[in-house]
Amino acid sequence: MAVQRTFSIIKPDATARNLTGKITSKFEEQGLRIVASKRIRMSRLQAREFYGVHKERPFYDELVEYMVSGPVVVQVLEGENAVARNREIMGATDPSKAAAGTIRKEFAENIERNSVHGSDSPENAANEIRFFFSDTEIVG
């Protein structure tokens, strides 16, 4: 498997608890490099578009409000098999189902306030990276 890039968000529940460094360390310790990173306040329009695939879900409006409720850290992670690797490091969406040692098991508050987002496929990774970063902001 070749070197890949994936997209990550450290979410408002995690930035509020000052967990940016601890979460970033998990990526680095497990073989992913941070090749782009910025702390932003997502606009409501950005959050609605980013999570557009979930717009028919009952939790969509609440998810959007949560994602704009505080700062987030958007990152590009690079490494061997980065999309799948990052999903292992994050653990299951629902922290009660996440494996020991994963970010969500250690830090997530509940299924919505689950500390991190990570792309679920290489295609979505490319789209999500492009949504937040220009080429010159990514330095491998």
Minimum CB distance to ligand CMP, residue 115 (Å)? 9
Apex 57 CA angle, 64 and 10, nearest 5: 40
CB within 8 Å of 126: residues ≥ 6 apart: 5
Contact 47, 67 (CB under 8 A): yes
Residue 54 designated active-site: no
Minimum CB distance to ligand CMP, residue 104 (Å)? 9
Q: Which residue number, 132 or 135, has a Cβ lying nearer to ligand CMP?
A: 132
Which of positions 59-118 make contact with ligand CMP (CB under 6 A)? 59, 63, 93, 111-112, 114, 117
The span from the CA of 68 to the CA of 63, in Å, is: 9
Binding site for ligand CMP (CB under 6 A): 54, 59, 63, 93, 111-112, 114, 117
